[in-house]
Structure 1
């Protein structure tokens, strides 16, 4: 018999406390998803240590039983010959229980088996209606993201349970040295983060999160001086993995107090800027603006840090630009940023700011001047500095202007011949995926829907999945829906927007993305069957109200679309 919701929650917390500290957060995330999530789920768990895996599974099963969920275990051994046999066993176990723990043997899930699993995903979802928890290792999870991209898109989460950090008397950790151990006061050093473009997969980032948490939980506690770098990296990883709530909690409850104990005002102000970044992404523009003006700028002014002050005023200009306040954003760029970088002799920062000015001019339709800035005031600087990445990004901005002007052939040539080779040479898979998306945009404009769709599905989604970039995955799914809608596949386009795009923005708390997607759904429904008119009207009015509240220019575009369809704007909402 299932216990009450209160009893389940108390058991979850108690079970988490009984595990190593490095497992606490992921156990709470995983158990919450299983207890409160839908009947069909596919979850992946990186648990390479057998003893720890058994400990976590035992604790998890106690919580699930309290919640009224039956569990079963399905070991994957050499006795299971292929994916077809595994699928049959999964279906059988799913009929008998709500949760099936699939315990993988290292090496069993190779490329061929993931490919076969990917092809069987539809039958799996319809026949094995249970919460399927795959206990694997990092290599198998990484293969799943690249070899089973369609199945990977269905995952409900990736979790990591790693053993606690080794004690100080053990062999040095990767990347450590005897000198580091002597200066750390018997605390083993955390292995260093990678340098250069961060192309770590979602599984690798999750492992790194668990690794840092295990190190932070190690006893004796590391001195504050050693905490700063790993604590900063942990916050950034949580942000990159799309766990905005955890990132905000980490920055507010762990990182800010650390910087205060160290008396590092500058680091404290920078952390507040990261908090403002998330609030800005979520559409909480007023609070983000307040933090930048009242909690960052005064610190940099007091410290005499003119460079950080200029960067922060640029962030303020970003918010104003997003709201369509182009004149004030342009004034800040010209009067409060450029002059600082000129005085400092920082030619690169000046070139970046000139690019921001070009962005505003482009938004105003002043294409000639925007193009001149890109070609004459940015490109020569990056060439002189040997900054291949910034040069490639600027080349892409030039192509964007040409595309807007209708010069599609030249824009396409630039993307393919001047941008992609640079990103490939630098190993920057994220930038390459973004450029492939711009190529898909042009192909879609030309009506080449099949190739545009192939690029979105095969050359963008797998990269964002591998990197664990849930926001970019949602954006790309929305672009796929745009293509399907252009092809007349309205039902599938609508399903994607409702089931694969909107829930992500909702989970991330990204108000702007959620409002725009809701508006697209509303317009779709309004243009379809009359029976959906009320639902469509409600979606459109809510989306317009949110965009208006944020002061975003998309509100005006949506209002025009509503007027064209004979809808009146709610009298209770006005643009601020």
Structure 2
């Protein structure tokens, strides 16, 4: 019986156990407005990472609406049984008003005088939403929990930690109580085939990225979609309609664990998810009319009984913890709604802020037949454990480590490649090869897990005929026909080992040919094949003579045309066996990517106490770097040495330092465990086996920073000798998908082996670069009209061209992309490369793209070379002017003008900057570039702000610029515009509103977008408010430990100097004049002078003057203040003029030159009042009023004090307010009017 809220055409009623709690209520327009507002506030709170106070306030407001005048919700809570599942039920096709109710965040419901209902462990409150009246649920079967799991990681997207999610499900339910089918392709079509073959499963879990407004075409409305994979591993956006159309047997529950899967397509204001969150960045198209459904509700409407999704951008780890609790409870036969509530509570009760932040995002939607328990029995669909591969290897290879399921990471591409080969029917099996301890055996174990219908045998250590037959006999012991056949033929093989082939053929084409009654195909693993391989200086390794006939017999017997049985071989090396090796598909394991190394590190950290993690964090980072992507080495150095409580820190430090030296061509490390590991890898022996020509080729390939296509390496091989095939066979060259064409192979030197090679000399690099640059340029697409999508390719090509000193066409095509790519890191690196690129083009008299000039000029300005920046901007502008110029398009000209104007603003040339901006704005408007025109308006507003015209600046920001960004869905630009609005509010003393914008609107956007620079600047703005409010320690912490390191890492010379200046402000306030003066003179000032930034130079002179004044050097202070005043008056910077006047007044007062002081104070006070600057008005007004009072100007003093008192009150400056009040009371009283 329903407990909750039921909607119909005339309103709604609140029920408890099916009985109405009077009265029945209409759903009014006011209700819809209130709930819509709550929904909008909820979305903003989620994006802002709001604390419990905000969310509780929303929950109480929603409680108040439900409670109504009659206390209906209170009555419901009193009467309802526990666990309490609150159902919000609507019709199959809700109206707009009904949607506002269904979408309201009932998960947040909170008592008027208490906390969240969801936090009540006795109540166990949960929320479900249902479309349609409840119907009769189909009867449950007698089986245990059955779950289909598919993760998708399309090429080029941020990789989720799907391995952790799969492992968490296994851990929670237990392998003995779960039927788990994992589909590794990420392809919905393949998933549908697997589910159909199994006759369906009650639960389908999809782990991927999601979008609520994916557009199939730019002119089509946005619709919800999952970012799944196609057969090539590229992204395949899949809508609810497509997914349901592929599923022939409908699951009882689909959990779409991706961002925004429960967020409607017409929801506004959603932030793009950032790294570590399950979504892809996208924005709605302007002017599109969006449908109301979310992916979850669309699936329910299409017939899925229950769908679980996320109403927002969920964190990867939050999703994993939620899934672990959910499936643990479902496996225990819990009601679905109760299991979801328990999983939600697991996040809510977490002590980790990042997990707890997502506790309320999960949404459970039901159709008429959805809900209730999903499990009723214990019968197994399959008698095979989901992790039997790992168990099998642990049984047979007890002395060789095989990664547990929760430690297996980073092998999705190799696993997908292996599964495709094994299922295709084209090959007898696969050969997993690569460097030692990369995880070949662990991958083989995972492959076994993916073939529950195969009988599995493992051959290891003994590779003779009888050992092979013993392994097969062990695998097929449950197959009577196969068991009897082996028993009959065993004496024959014992007498004649060569008989193994005919025995295997009879077995594989008979009882092990295919799945049938009591029969199953064989999956035979032959592990560590390198034990029977012998190096051949002339080619690939060869099988030793005594083992060659046995292995040949096995390869011939496994014929994919006659049997479904398959082989999986693992070996460090490729081998040759008379052509029979071609029956195996080679799959080379490469080092773990940085993402995969991070996943493995996270799992390792989970085994270590937090205090030890923090203590050894720096050493752990070094240890990960020296592991070079080898998971076995990372396990040893990071987990068993650095993080071990039994290993002294001195030994760990020595082990890591020894590895670092080893990778600089040094001796083996002294640590016994590390030395033994490296001796087992035998890198130096492999290099010796390769021979001088191949080592020469290996050294040549170190020229590249990225994997490059094999034909490019072959070009170098023609010059230095060697072959890629031999180096790949030895595991010295690793294979990757080419970043330009993923269907083509690319190679790179193994990262550990590279550390044993003598680095290339400069002359070698020049010669090799000249050979490689043109072939690589051609392989990666040649000239393109715009930078490549993967800018790392442009950077690689540009570096090669610069190293060679040739190929201007390559620099023309790729130089700009290279500068942009480097600009994301240290700006000085981008500037240096850009200068070299321009110099090369000038030497070759080649036309320089205007875009390149602009980007290098910008990098020059940021890194501190203002003169070069000015020269490059001028050159770019000249290049766009005149009809005969090739790049004279008005838009390009406008962009140059706008960027040059921004540069001039920072140099303080405001009049010239304004002229340029108005010109650029007109050009953008005429060309129809609305966003770029809005940016120009924003820059004009900045000029007005600098000049003190706050009202006009605020009008532009709010009414001209901001609406454009909001209409276009530009989250970043919207946040930056809000930041500028906050600047004005802050200057006017509206600190609370400014702080709200900084923390709740700006910061979440920058953090989600991964905008490090903007995030740091926002933190700095917050620190400025704290400083003005007297919270000096907190402000200093933000400046030094959060903001400054970002600018230093990015090479932002000007921002670094400004931040140092802000630190000096705090130190100066705290009385540390020596350190403040050192920062001003030796750190700040040189940067501004080098940049030609007259305004900031003048401001810094004023700060130095303040310190000189404090020290009694009035002449020096006055000289600097007069110097800065002249500059500010020239620029029309009235805010700075007021500051300079205040400084001069201070000196005059100290010298008792009261007339001059009064003039300066009067002008400063007038300006600050005009600017509506309450902080300055209060400070200057107090001193000005005191001087007027001392001069006998009582009424003038009173007016000044009264104005200053209001200003001090506005900014909550209590100490200043008290002093002004006291000064006001000691004035002679006003004379009464006659």
TM-score, normalised to structure 2, is: 0.26
Distance 1:376 1:302, change over 3 A: same
The whole-number CA distance in structure 2 between the counterparts of 1:181 and 1:396 is 44
The whole-number CA distance in structure 2 between the counterparts of 1:190 and 1:333 is 32
Contact 1:434 1:460 in 2 (8 A): yes
Give runs of aligned pairs for residues 150-189 of structure 1, distance below 5 A: 175-176=800-801, 181=807, 183=809
The whole-number CA distance in structure 2 between the counterparts of 1:523 and 1:288 is 32
More helix per residue: 1
Contact 2:877 2:896 in 1 (8 A): no
- Match 1:273 to one of 890, 893, 898: 898
Q: Deviations over 1:410-449 (max 9, x none)?
A: 3223323433444455555654443332222122223332
Give runs of aligned pairs for residues 413-424 of structure 1, distance below 5 A: 413-424=1037-1048
- Match 1:449 to one of 1055, 1073, 1090: 1073
Distance 1:498 1:255, change over 3 A: farther
Q: Does 1:297 align with 2:921?
A: yes
Give runs of aligned pairs for residues 476-495 of structure 1, distance below 5 A: 476-495=1100-1119
Task: Quote the residue 2:824 is aligned against.
Answer: 196
Distance 1:485 1:429, change over 3 A: same
More strand per residue: 2
Shift of 1:353: 1.3
The whole-number CA distance in structure 2 between the counterparts of 1:283 and 1:463 is 14
Q: Does 1:348 align with 2:979?
A: no
The whole-number CA distance in structure 2 between the counterparts of 1:539 and 1:531 is 11
The whole-number CA distance in structure 2 between the counterparts of 1:186 and 1:322 is 39
Contact 1:389 1:422 in 2 (8 A): yes
The whole-number CA distance in structure 2 between the counterparts of 1:308 and 1:422 is 27
Distance 1:207 1:440, change over 3 A: same
Contact 2:1073 2:1107 in 1 (8 A): yes
Task: Quote the residue 2:888 is aligned against.
Answer: 263
Give runs of aligned pairs for residues 200-219 of structure 1, distance below 5 A: 200=828, 218=843
Task: Quote the residue 2:257 is aligned against.
Answer: none
Task: Quote the residue 1:164 is aligned against.
Answer: none
Contact 2:867 2:1091 in 1 (8 A): no
- Match 2:992 to one of 368, 388, 413: 368
The whole-number CA distance in structure 1 between the counterparts of 2:1020 and 2:935 is 23
Distance 1:444 1:531, change over 3 A: closer
- Which has the higher relative contact order, 1 or 2, with Cα contacts under 8 A spaced 6 or more apart? 1
Task: Quote the residue 1:308 is aligned against.
Answer: 932
Which range moved further: 405-414 or 518-527?
A: 518-527
Contact 2:988 2:1171 in 1 (8 A): no
Give runs of aligned pairs for residues 90-169 of structure 1, distance below 5 A: none
Contact 2:982 2:997 in 1 (8 A): yes
Any idea what SS the aligned residue of 1:437 has?
A: helix
Shift of 1:176: 1.6
Task: Quote the residue 1:72 is aligned against.
Answer: none
The whole-number CA distance in structure 1 between the counterparts of 2:1102 and 2:1042 is 27
Distance 1:286 1:435, change over 3 A: closer
- Match 2:1034 to one of 380, 396, 410: 410
The whole-number CA distance in structure 2 between the counterparts of 1:254 and 1:438 is 38
Distance 1:246 1:529, change over 3 A: same
Q: Deviations over 1:227-271 (max 9, x none)?
A: 552376358748954449964992597244279722321121122
Distance 1:259 1:495, change over 3 A: farther
Distance 1:521 1:215, change over 3 A: farther
Any idea what SS the aligned residue of 1:263 has?
A: coil
The whole-number CA distance in structure 1 between the counterparts of 2:812 and 2:1046 is 44
Distance 1:232 1:257, change over 3 A: farther
Shift of 1:498: 6.4
Any idea what SS the aligned residue of 1:324 has?
A: coil
The whole-number CA distance in structure 1 between the counterparts of 2:948 and 2:1120 is 29
The whole-number CA distance in structure 2 between the counterparts of 1:234 and 1:180 is 23
The whole-number CA distance in structure 2 between the counterparts of 1:276 and 1:390 is 21
Distance 1:268 1:553, change over 3 A: farther
Contact 1:436 1:460 in 2 (8 A): yes
Distance 1:422 1:287, change over 3 A: closer
Instruction: Name stretches of at least 5 consecutive residues in structure 2 with no aligned partner.
Output: 1-769, 774-797, 1192-1234
Q: Deviations over 1:350-392 (max 9, x none)?
A: 1111111111221222111111111111122222223233222
Q: Does 1:233 align with 2:856?
A: yes
Task: Quote the residue 1:359 is aligned against.
Answer: 983
The whole-number CA distance in structure 2 between the counterparts of 1:468 and 1:208 is 21
Distance 1:388 1:244, change over 3 A: closer
The whole-number CA distance in structure 1 between the counterparts of 2:930 and 2:983 is 24
Any idea what SS the aligned residue of 2:801 has?
A: coil
Any idea what SS the aligned residue of 1:355 has?
A: helix
Any idea what SS the aligned residue of 2:823 has?
A: coil
The whole-number CA distance in structure 2 between the counterparts of 1:259 and 1:198 is 37
The whole-number CA distance in structure 1 between the counterparts of 2:1153 and 2:965 is 59
Task: Quote the residue 2:1024 is aligned against.
Answer: 400
The whole-number CA distance in structure 2 between the counterparts of 1:355 and 1:313 is 15
Contact 1:242 1:471 in 2 (8 A): no
How many residue pairs are counted as aligned between the two chains?
384
Distance 1:516 1:252, change over 3 A: farther
Give runs of aligned pairs for residues 424-443 of structure 1, distance below 5 A: 424=1048, 426=1050, 428=1052, 430-443=1054-1067
Contact 2:808 2:840 in 1 (8 A): no
Shift of 1:331: 2.7
Distance 1:538 1:354, change over 3 A: closer
The whole-number CA distance in structure 1 between the counterparts of 2:861 and 2:1106 is 30
The root-mean-square deviation of aligned C-alpha atoms, in Å, is 5.4
The whole-number CA distance in structure 1 between the counterparts of 2:1130 and 2:1140 is 14
Contact 1:175 1:192 in 2 (8 A): no
TM-score, normalised to structure 1, is: 0.52
Contact 2:827 2:859 in 1 (8 A): no
Shift of 1:563: 11
Distance 1:374 1:531, change over 3 A: closer
Task: Quote the residue 1:36 is aligned against.
Answer: none
